């Protein structure tokens, strides 16, 4: 095996060879009229050793079910599906959050499918990493290395962030080596972007590029406020719109992975939608932020807490929320068994209720809205031949799509699906309009989701 993933040094060498234009360096004046200029350098000297490069090697495996006609040519013992394996290499970033135990947080998409993971430390050392656990829906992964003299970043309370706060992004863009950019927090609670299943992003204009994924977004004290995850890049590069997973959301997920080896997702047991101006006007409300509850599931944490259909949930543990998507992301990443206070508006009056979150089985149940926005309001469970609609809320997006209780989803476009995991994967691959193949009684039909 080649010098154990000498991928880091190879990638850095390639990057340096492709930068053909000469780069000039401008000296930064340290004083003007005898007065020193503020600098981020002292903070970065303390913080940058906690940000690492992540190099991976692995094999992507894709499976495609072969058409029934294939068996007519090759007989009943013909293979049922075509399997393709494609080797890959990748580079990303990570953040040391516990120096003593060697814990490193990165994005799931950085290490997904990796057979080998190599960490490049700030001081030049290269150390193999072990995957402790990951959560694809929130795009967080926890790694562990064995090394001495590590430096960990301190984590901030990301719920205290405000638009306009300064932010500094640290990562490994384009394999160039550690790079620092700065900007501000441009927005909070960004969701509905279709980047991840669970979205509650910090938006920043600090430059984030390919390879920054999994790197640190810090404040001016050098405290971690988020994990850099995605960008809007119509031209392939940074345009000043980047997204990071908030540190508090990361903390909840990491704690669950450390304790259980996996994320045990919390469930409130409601379906709903964002509070629109039309809904606010219909209910005579002054606010236009929050999550409107369409339906409360039977025997759920929400029902036990006294939440009712028609309630508008406006805060979680005293923190205001902007949308139902933000509510869903916060609840789902808090973990089963968490005790949560919800602020809500009912009939124009403000109320606070407490709920102990239930647990969602990652293989048998799912929040349908997390699978696809137009499935919101449906309760999904694995069936014998696909994914069954076990319940559906009236006037919900799922009902408007034409779905009925008892329907079984057996395919997406021309691909068959077996369970919730394959349904999520197929829908995530698709862009724009998709067609669900439905088994309804003895009939088959297609329903279009836009």
> In 3D, which of 142, 197, 186 has the Cα closest to residue 164?
186
User: Angle 324-334/247-260 helices, nearest 10 degrees?
Assistant: 30
| 260 tagged catalytic | no
**Strand residues in 10-135 grouped as ranges (E):** 31-32, 35-36, 51-65, 81-98, 103-106, 114-120, 126-128, 130-135
d(CA 140, CA 142): 7
> In 3D, which of 437, 294, 220, 2 has the Cα closest to residue 448?
437
Q: Which residues pair with 365 in a beta bridge?
A: 381
Please state whether beta strands 266-267 and 358-359 pair in parallel, antiparallel, or not at all (unpaired).
antiparallel
3-state secondary structure of 258: helix
| 213 tagged catalytic | yes
User: Would the CA dihedral through 75, 81, 82, 85 be positive or negative?
Assistant: negative
Taking CA atoms, 17 is separated from 10, 11, 175, in Å, by: 11, 10, 12
User: Which is catalytic among the residues 135, 138, 139, 391?
Assistant: 139
**Strand residues in 124-260 grouped as ranges (E):** 126-128, 130-135, 140-144, 166-171, 179-190, 201-204, 216-218, 224-231, 242-246
User: CA geometry: angle at 408 spanning 407 and 411, to 5°?
Assistant: 130
Taking CA atoms, 66 is separated from 82, 157, 304, 350, in Å, by: 6, 50, 47, 56
d(CA 320, CA 309): 20
| 159 tagged catalytic | no
3-state SS record for 273-320: EECCHHHHHHCCCCCCCCEEEEEECCCCHHHHHCCCCCCEEEEECCEE
Residues near 249 by beta carbon (within 8 Å), at least 6 away in sequence = 138, 158, 200, 329, 330, 333
Q: If residue 334 lies in a helix (H) or strand (E), which one and from where to where? A: helix 324-334
Q: Please tell me the number of Cα atoms within 13 Å of 151 on its side-chain side.
A: 14
User: Which is catalytic among the residues 93, 109, 396, 407?
Assistant: 109
User: Which is catalytic among the residues 93, 158, 186, 213?
Assistant: 213
User: Would the CA dihedral through 133, 427, 325, 193 be positive or negative?
Assistant: positive
d(CA 179, CA 228): 13
Catalytic site residues?
109, 139, 213
């Amino acid at each position: 095996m080649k010098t154990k993933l000498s991928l880091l040094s190879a990638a850095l060498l390639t990057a340096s060879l492709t930068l053909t234009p000469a780069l000039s360096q401008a000296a930064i004046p340290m004083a003007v009229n005898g007065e020193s200029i503020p600098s981020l350098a002292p903070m970065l000297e303390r913080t940058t050793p906690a940000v690492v490069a992540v190099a991976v090697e692995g094999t992507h495996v894709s499976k495609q079910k072969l058409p029934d006609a294939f068996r007519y040519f090759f007989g009943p013992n013909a293979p049922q599906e075509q399997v393709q394996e494609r080797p890959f290499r990748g580079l990303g970033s990570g953040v040391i959050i516990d120096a003593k135990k060697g814990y490193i947080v990165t994005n799931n998409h950085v290490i997904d499918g990796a057979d080998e993971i190599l960490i490049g430390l700030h001081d030049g050392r290269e150390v193999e990493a072990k995957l402790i656990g990951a959560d694809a829906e929130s795009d967080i992964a926890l790694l562990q290395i064995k090394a001495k003299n590590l430096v960990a970043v301190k984590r901030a309370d990301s719920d205290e962030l405000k638009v306009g706060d300064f932010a500094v992004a640290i990562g490994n863009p384009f394999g160039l080596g550690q790079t620092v950019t700065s900007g501000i927090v441009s927005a909070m609670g960004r969701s509905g972007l279709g980047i991840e299943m669970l979205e509650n992003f910090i938006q920043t204009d600090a430059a984030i590029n390919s390879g920054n994924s999994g790197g640190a977004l810090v404040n001016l004290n050098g405290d971690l406020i988020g994990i850099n995850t995605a960008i809007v890049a119509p031209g392939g590069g940074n345009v000043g719109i980047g997204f990071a997973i908030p540190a508090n959301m990361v903390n909840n997920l990491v704690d669950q992975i450390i304790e259980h080896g996996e994320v045990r997702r919390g469930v409130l047991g409601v379906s709903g939608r964002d509070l629109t101006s039309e809904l606010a006007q219909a209910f005579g409300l002054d606010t236009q932020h929050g999550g409107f509850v369409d339906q409360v599931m039977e025997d759920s944490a929400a029902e036990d807490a006294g939440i009712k259909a028609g309630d508008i949930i406006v805060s979680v543990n005293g923190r205001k929320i902007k949308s139902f998507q933000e509510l869903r992301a916060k609840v789902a990443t808090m973990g089963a068994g968490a005790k949560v206070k919800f602020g809500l508006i009912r009939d124009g009056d403000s109320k606070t209720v407490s709920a102990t979150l239930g647990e969602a089985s990652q293989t048998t149940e799912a929040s349908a809205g997390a699978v696809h926005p137009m499935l919101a309001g449906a309760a999904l469970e694995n069936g014998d031949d696909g994914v069954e609609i076990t319940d559906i809320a009236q006037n919900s997006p799922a009902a408007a799509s034409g779905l009925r209780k008892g329907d079984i989803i057996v395919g997406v476009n021309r691909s068959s699906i077996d369970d919730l995991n394959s349904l999520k994967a197929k829908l995530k691959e698709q862009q724009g309009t998709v067609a669900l193949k439905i088994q309804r009684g003895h009939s088959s039909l297609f329903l279009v989701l836009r």
